[in-house]
Structure 1
Amino acid sequence: MANHLDFTIPGSLPKPIYQNQVFGRDEIPTHLLPVNIHSTAGQVSTPDALLSASLTNSVVLTRASASDPAPSIIADFGVAVAGIPFIHISAINSPSDSVVVDFAVSEGHPGIKLQDGDGPYPFSAGADTSRKARFRVRHAGFHDAKYIQGSQRWMRITLVSPAPCSVAISRAGFVPATSNVPVDRLPGQFECSDDSLTRLWGYGARTIQLNCAPARTIPPPWQVSQDMGVLVDSQRCNAYGWGGAWSDYEAGFDGLVIEGGLAWTVRACGGMPSILFQLTVNDKGALLEMWWGYYNKPQTTLVPVLISSVDISTPISVGKWHRFKTRCVGDEPFVITIDDIEVATFRQGNIKASGLALLGISVDASNFPYVPTGSVGIGAGADQVCRFKDMVVRSLPSQEILYTSGLNTTAVLSDFGVGWNQFPFIFDGAKRDRYPWTADIIVGGKTLYYSTAGTEYVRGNIVASMLRCKASKETPGLLPGGAPPGTDFNRARDDTMFNILSVNYSLYLILVIYDYWTFTGDDDLLELCWDKIEGCLAYCRQLVNQDDLISAKGMDAGDYDYYNGIQEGVSTKRNALYVTVLRACAKMAASEAIADEETATSLLSRADTTAKAVLEKCYNPANGYFNITDSRTIGFQQETHAWLLLTDIVPAGLKTQILGHFSSLCTASHNSAPLSFSPDTTNPSPPPVISPIMSAIHIDSAVHAREKHSIVEDHLRRVWEPMMDKSSEHFTGTTWEFMTAEGKPFKGDFCSYAQLFSCGPTWLLSAHVLGVEPLAPGFDKYRVWPKLKIGGVTWARGRVPTPRGSILVTWQETKSGWRLSVKAPRGLDGVVVVPDEIWSRKTEMVVGDGGVQGSKELVVGRNGTLEVTIKF
């Protein structure tokens, strides 16, 4: 009888395509094309022509008479894709020899039914503000948009020109902007006997692909020419990046309306909403509006408010330059002149607020913020095309020039923070925010390490934040939560562009740095960051109160779950995070790169002190769980208790009790997936939301705390089950930002359907079901321990990328036994841990070709291979 059991797993892992081959000619499709025609409206012939790469046949959209509806076609790409929209026109027929074609997109099917798709998204300049590209077609051939659409499954093409007209389109889709390597060809891989889990792993990996933008692949939202200045087409206003402290000034520029109108902002500060002036020009005349917000069309969470409007009697000619000036003095009314003629005055706001508070206040036409300082921005409203040149901003009353530019060289892109992305970035969401937030990498980074291995993207985010950081060991301060993707990092870093400085975001970034270092062994980056990390820790120490706990307020207390309300005061989660960070920093301080044992010892001591204080001061014995904050004592918070378990702040005697309280999150709605807060939570009562990022941390903590496998499995399946339903109108083959208690995207079309927050299963399956984790930086030491047993899963296999090559693991359980195989790069120190439920059934263990050992922990030889068989 053979000493070992033979694997009976069908097939083998596909050969990977490594990062240096990702953009090889044979792997990039020239165009991404739809796979199905969903529906048509109006007069549309041969719509299936769009499914072919051939240019021989065309779909024809015709509008014969004024009573005809605008003809349109909705096409399906099957899964979410990213790229620059394009159409190939084979013929046009119109009295004007031109037609207008709208190309709208949406992640979910409900959004494609809307005129403008599922947008707009004016928060950042990381992609097209609009979710609709407008093609003004005057000739046959290829026509492409200027901006990226980051994630969409659905496309709707509409002929919007008035009758009579027709257009023949032989191809429509996207020029790829991100990697499209099949997920089963990635450097990392996971397969198991449960196909649904294999697919779920791939959905997380695909989400990572859509969010990773190589350097210099995000086009600026403006086009610059030497003689005609800046061209803007339907893009949000972007402000000069060093004007946030300006108070009283007059801003002037030349503006030229090509179509629809133009827009500008004053006293714009740090990427927050601001005073927005919107000029609309049409056959009836000109209208000037003052808004509070980012854009003249709403995003679900960033709804602009129209404050006032005036009809402009001064003639505004399309295609002609006009001189616009705006006077801002104290709280006096804004004064607008066009061609030196005063055309309007608008009163200023009456609500005093700044920073993140500007996003949370209730605004109407009578009550809106007064912002005393801020910069000047230019842009366009929806379906508007315009030009700007010759901007001058003068201080009042001194007439000192604060800024001047012809707006006719590429330097203007740097001035306004809208250049090409200098670093590779990983975004929070492929559709929105399209911003390289650092907090989102807390889960997304680990998924990347286990799948695409695109570590340069995480490094890009980290370096960008470090270059913006003003903190140091001598100057305590917080770490930036990200950087506008178009930032020019060669410029002075005293800019006033958008920046989030909060304790939690800083702590997340330190953990992101720690994880990056652990998975890559990149000591150079650690050395770059360390002085700034020490400055952040010094700042946090200043917030520690007499009870040895961090207490934060205002912007310091901000976090990513803005919809749940800010956690001011002593937040249990914040202090658990702080303990986690102190321990991570102790390991980094003790590394060869930093070599500061004294600091490492001090950090561990502070971590122990804070952990003890959390247990003594934040645990609520009457409730049997920990408080949310010192002023929010009713309600069980999912993520708080996950971090408490991961840090082992929860003592052994309380673990069963705390684990039991997680069941209070599971409501009877949908499929009993856990909510972020228990329904009895008060002060305030947060909305009932299923949070995949919180659930991923929850699952990781449950595995760490040795929760029953069946309970962990239930949480995993229930949270991500709606995203896996291919029959759902929301299916995209990617993972969603958050959900309602009914399992639908929270906040509807606003929800990001390809979001780093939600791709945790990819990491969790590789780390806990396949079982591979680094124990030392760069996987110099690693462990293979398939510690999470999922019902019905009888085998798993996969690859885990490391800086030295891939670790390949296969395991299988049969009626007669269990077998595991490891093949790793030579020179790494590995250990295999036999799962408890396998070890408890052991009658015999065979290592290799016959060596019998008695320990459940087995050392992988320096040759990198190990075979172990457990017989039942």
Structure 2
Amino acid sequence: MMVNLNIYLLGACAWGQVTYAFVDYGNVYPRKYSLSADVQVADQSYDNTTTITLSPAHPVLTLDYGTEIAGFPFFVVAEGASPAQIEAAYSEAFAYLDDENADGPWTFSNGLANSWRVETFNITSGGHTESFFVQGGQRWQSIRLLTNHSLTLESIGFRATSEHKDVDQQPGHLRTSHDVYNKIFDLGGQVVQAACVDAGNAPSTWELTDEGAYIRGQTSAQSSIGRVMGAANYTLEFDTKIVRGGTGWRVASAIQPLGPYFVLTSNYPEQNTFVNTNRTLLPPNTLIVNGGWSLLNQSTLETPANQYYPLNISVEENKWYHIVTAIKEDGYTISLNGENIAFVPLPPPISPPVFFSTASRYEGTWGFGGFQDQIAVVANVSVVASNKTIIYTNDMKSPGVLAEYAVAPLDHSICLDGAKRDRLVWIGDFYHTVRVLAQSSARWDYIIGSIDYAFGYQAKSGPFAGFVPISARLGTRPEYSDADPAGPGLVDYQDLFLASIGQYYRYTGDAKGLEPYWENIKALLKARLTYIDPTSGLAAGSPAAPNPGSFLGPANGTAVTGLMSFALQQIVPLALAFQDTATASLCNTTALSLNDALNTKLWNPELGTYSLDLTSPGNFSLTGIAWSILSGAANTSQITSSLEKLEALRFGAGYKTISSEEETPEYQLAPNPSGFLLEALFQAQTAHGVDTAKTAITHLLDGLWGSMVNDEQYASGASWEYVKPDGRPGITAFTSLAHPWGAAPTYVLPEYLLGVTPVTAGYARVVVQPAVGYLGLDKVQGRVPTPFGSLEVGWTVEGGKAKVEIEVPEGIKGEVRVPKGWKVDGKQEEGGMMELGSGTTEIVLCTV
């Protein structure tokens, strides 16, 4: 009964000793297509035998894959084809597919994937052509013929890098009498397929050759060694050979691609240059410089104007050049083969500053990565300090280069924050991901893999000892932990990570799988307990970080304190499993103290809810209401009052986060904290009998999550990162439309509508309390994955009667609790308990 779980955990134990092969999930093909003069909604059926001819009269093929998928794009060209160039574009939403850059590019991280959402192919013969890069997530694709010869495509699709099952075939599933709620539930099963990646399925985005690093155009990758050594005021030298279009590099950069970026373009020889090359943005024989993220803006990652330095020489392709970039007091000097080609004045400081930017324009590491569709070889890199000492050399040929520049192949099975971006292991987002996986795919290997990955970079010493990075990068290795260390940013993410671990144990009972990390967990607990204010008793700062940043709310506030209490409570059962009663007692008593401080210091009877924080007694938040309930701090009367106050936060399709925030058309409604609220609302109803919770639940489901499934212009089949008040994606094309943090209904709906709750970790004992008739539903059917097999619950309502059927696998025992408003056969009153054993149990309910 526990075969799958054990197989996944066996694989986890081997990490660090095994090179993982590619996990073959087959090919994914479009479901529909259209052929026209421009991008059109796909309306014709497609299968892998469909042949399509692009022509000057009908040059644009639009492809709809039906839902979010991930993989290597490929197409098969008919034999005998004339030479042609085609441009492929990818987008999660149809609305952005025809934009110049589709819904990209991604300038925040490399992510072991294509940074661009538009790429060009030069077709010279028939046969199979596949992109070098993974495209992390899309529903839509277009292929545009750029040249005048017709081109016949015999097959088009993606070589899948992740599972792509129909969600109703997953171990966990739910169906109700409400079609929109069914689509909302399905968002989670789809998103974790796209956003979770197997070890071996994200190869390096660089190639190492006997000449050097062969680097295709992508978000630049920075040297971890340069970051660790704290390099400043240096001169970077390297050799480069432009294979196509240009070459790119950085100096004085953060470990993220943020800092002076230089792109040198070639003379664009006709026989090797794409016809769609943007010669306005990228003129030939020119050095182009930007002091920010890229040469292009991307929504929230704003970039200053580019600076252009035309050269009086012809920069040839397939010829070696020696480039020197020196950081000077007033700027940067750049030379090519010993000749000065430009002096770039020192850019102004990054404004507003971000916590991962460098302290000045003189310091930071170096990196390499050309612009869109460019290819270059980089070799013989050296860095010379201001005192003329050589502090770094690298011929860029050895395998260690990939890990140093964080482009090494993925060696863990992990879950990302988003399929297309940011493609980082954000430990706060992971809380939702764990619970979505537990109610859909049950791919426990992704959970253990992500836990192992995060703890591999845990700080061992210093002011943040015990913390793990909030967003571990792909492609790096633990020996470079100090290049992107854990710090004071978003410290509440540490609590969400702890809660994630507790939830994994709750669902699986897998103490053995977590045992290797128990000391890591305790180190993180120890670190977090220093963040309790000794005066207020609330979650706040520490001696190491007196003013830390948090995602869910301010220090000495309701949200962060309630969350910390909740996280500590989640660790108690795991500590007891390890017979560590001291840790269990510490977590329990500390959680109780935090709850007491919440009620003593932050409950505001005049306001009718908990204050945002000590400094804002008249302000309150969605997250404060949610975590006061989930932590167990709020009693029934406080919950009732808080939910009345919640209506003041209602805005557009959802609820704004903080009461003082301005309501604008561009406001970003947040499915992540709204997911915490959704569960708190269900708890208010089931545990406290607060009937007004239904109003907010239906608003969230019909509005916020309904927005993700009701408009085919934007629907990806997966859950979103942010939502505007009018229901469109919250940060336009940049929005991740495959973000697990937005999929809370996938775990909330089955846990409360089916009512299956593990009383002991791993479902050895359960309580089943189905929410019969709730939300106006007259039918619900679903299955919950457990280590013993699927536990199935179904109920139907007709008139004043209801039928409940429960199928329990061997090995599980528990009770059925009669739901509110119902009684059994006119005898057992609501709230009563009945024993539940393995096999099928049928119960007939009557209204009270």
| TM interval, short-chain normalised | 0.7 to 0.9
How does 1:765-804 map onto structure 2 within 5 Å?
765-787=749-771, 789-804=773-788
Task: State which drifts further: 98-107 or 623-632.
Answer: 623-632
What secondary structure sits across from 2:482 in the alignment? coil
Contact 1:326–1:335 (Cα < 8 Å) also in 2: yes
Cα distance in 2, alignment partners of residues 854 and 467 from structure 1: 49
What is the aligned counterpart of 1:214 among 191, 195, 198?
198
How does 1:308-319 map onto structure 2 within 5 Å?
308-319=307-318
Cα distance in 1, alignment partners of residues 727 and 548 from structure 2: 29
AA aligned to 2:139 is R
Correspondence 1:859 to 2:824? no
Cα distance in 1, alignment partners of residues 782 and 830 from structure 2: 27
How does 1:415-494 map onto structure 2 within 5 Å?
415-471=404-460, 476-489=465-478, 491=479, 493-494=481-482
Task: State which drifts further: 809-818 or 377-386.
Answer: 809-818
Aligned position for 1:531: 519
Correspondence 1:588 to 2:574? yes
Contact 2:244–2:376 (Cα < 8 Å) also in 1: yes
Cα distance in 1, alignment partners of residues 648 and 599 from structure 2: 21
Cα deviation, residue 629, structure 1: 3.0
Contact 2:54–2:60 (Cα < 8 Å) also in 1: no
Cα distance in 2, alignment partners of residues 811 and 747 from structure 1: 40
Correspondence 1:37 to 2:18? no
Q: 1:500 to 1:141 in 2, by over 3 A?
A: farther
Cα distance in 2, alignment partners of residues 632 and 471 from structure 1: 36
Contact 1:348–1:370 (Cα < 8 Å) also in 2: no
Cα distance in 2, alignment partners of residues 700 and 326 from structure 1: 54
What is the aligned counterpart of 2:656 among 644, 666, 675?
675
Contact 2:821–2:830 (Cα < 8 Å) also in 1: no
Cα deviation, residue 218, structure 1: 0.9
Cα deviation, residue 763, structure 1: 0.6
What secondary structure sits across from 1:703 in the alignment? helix
Q: 1:568 to 1:655 in 2, by over 3 A?
A: closer
Contact 1:50–1:172 (Cα < 8 Å) also in 2: no
Q: 1:620 to 1:290 in 2, by over 3 A?
A: farther
What secondary structure sits across from 1:421 in the alignment? coil
Correspondence 1:116 to 2:101? yes
What secondary structure sits across from 1:357 in the alignment? coil
Cα distance in 1, alignment partners of residues 822 and 462 from structure 2: 49
Aligned position for 2:299: 300
Aligned position for 2:87: 102
Cα distance in 2, alignment partners of residues 372 and 31 from structure 1: 48
Q: 1:500 to 1:53 in 2, by over 3 A?
A: farther
Correspondence 1:61 to 2:55? yes
Q: 1:515 to 1:294 in 2, by over 3 A?
A: same
Identity %: 23
Cα deviation, residue 19, structure 1: 11
Contact 2:204–2:402 (Cα < 8 Å) also in 1: yes
Contact 1:288–1:310 (Cα < 8 Å) also in 2: yes
Cα deviation, residue 509, structure 1: 0.6
Correspondence 1:169 to 2:121? no
Contact 1:123–1:433 (Cα < 8 Å) also in 2: yes
Correspondence 1:273 to 2:258? yes
Contact 2:753–2:780 (Cα < 8 Å) also in 1: yes
What is the aligned counterpart of 1:75 among 63, 70, 75?
63
TM-score by length of 1: 0.86
Q: How far does the alpha carbon of each residue in 1:44-100 deviate from its partner, in whole angstroms, 9 at most, with x for none? A: 9xx999934227x4313238xxxxxx9322222222222211121125766xxx332
Correspondence 1:518 to 2:506? yes
Q: 1:742 to 1:75 in 2, by over 3 A?
A: same
Correspondence 1:837 to 2:811? no
What secondary structure sits across from 1:62 in the alignment? coil
Aligned position for 2:167: 183
What secondary structure sits across from 1:613 in the alignment? helix
Aligned position for 1:850: none
Contact 1:234–1:381 (Cα < 8 Å) also in 2: yes
Q: 1:211 to 1:450 in 2, by over 3 A?
A: same
Cα distance in 2, alignment partners of residues 472 and 43 from structure 1: 55
Q: 1:103 to 1:559 in 2, by over 3 A?
A: farther
What is the aligned counterpart of 1:698 among 672, 677, 687?
677
Contact 1:831–1:858 (Cα < 8 Å) also in 2: yes
Aligned position for 1:234: 217
AA aligned to 2:138 is Q
AA aligned to 2:505 is W
Cα deviation, residue 120, structure 1: 0.5
Aligned position for 1:570: 556
Runs of 5+ in structure 2 lacking a partner?
Answer: 9-22, 269-282
Aligned position for 1:400: 390
Aligned position for 2:17: none
What secondary structure sits across from 2:28 in the alignment? coil
Cα deviation, residue 18, structure 1: 10
How does 1:611-760 map onto structure 2 within 5 Å?
611-667=595-651, 669=652, 673-678=654-659, 680-681=660-661, 688-706=667-685, 707-708=690-691, 710-711=694-695, 712-725=697-710, 727-760=711-744
Cα deviation, residue 209, structure 1: 1.1
What secondary structure sits across from 2:407 in the alignment? coil
The alignment yields a C-alpha RMSD, in angstroms, of: 3.2
Q: How far does the alpha carbon of each residue in 1:292-323 deviate from its partner, in whole angstroms, 9 at most, with x for none? A: 22322222111222353322235421111101
Cα distance in 2, alignment partners of residues 166 and 631 from structure 1: 68
Say how many residue pairs are matched: 804
Cα distance in 2, alignment partners of residues 338 and 788 from structure 1: 74
Cα deviation, residue 758, structure 1: 1.3
Cα deviation, residue 448, structure 1: 0.8
How does 1:340-359 map onto structure 2 within 5 Å?
340-351=338-349, 356-357=354-355
Cα deviation, residue 610, structure 1: 2.0
Cα distance in 1, alignment partners of residues 703 and 732 from structure 2: 20
What secondary structure sits across from 2:262 in the alignment? strand
Cα deviation, residue 355, structure 1: 7.9
Cα distance in 1, alignment partners of residues 214 and 547 from structure 2: 38
Aligned position for 1:86: 74
Cα distance in 1, alignment partners of residues 124 and 770 from structure 2: 61
AA aligned to 1:868 is I
Task: State which drifts further: 444-453 or 114-123.
Answer: 114-123
Q: 1:272 to 1:858 in 2, by over 3 A?
A: farther
What secondary structure sits across from 1:557 in the alignment? coil
TM-score by length of 2: 0.88
Aligned position for 1:818: 802
Aligned position for 2:18: none
Cα distance in 2, alignment partners of residues 421 and 699 from structure 1: 34
Cα deviation, residue 17, structure 1: 11
Q: 1:285 to 1:748 in 2, by over 3 A?
A: closer
Cα deviation, residue 101, structure 1: 1.1
Cα deviation, residue 617, structure 1: 2.0
Task: State which drifts further: 519-528 or 504-513.
Answer: 519-528
Q: 1:547 to 1:259 in 2, by over 3 A?
A: same
AA aligned to 2:703 is R
Q: 1:193 to 1:209 in 2, by over 3 A?
A: same
Contact 1:204–1:762 (Cα < 8 Å) also in 2: yes
Cα distance in 1, alignment partners of residues 521 and 38 from structure 2: 60
Q: How far does the alpha carbon of each residue in 1:540-584 deviate from its partner, in whole angstroms, 9 at most, with x for none? A: 3333321112323989633457xxxxx554232111111112222
Cα distance in 1, alignment partners of residues 609 and 43 from structure 2: 59
Cα distance in 2, alignment partners of residues 647 and 477 from structure 1: 23
Aligned position for 1:384: 374
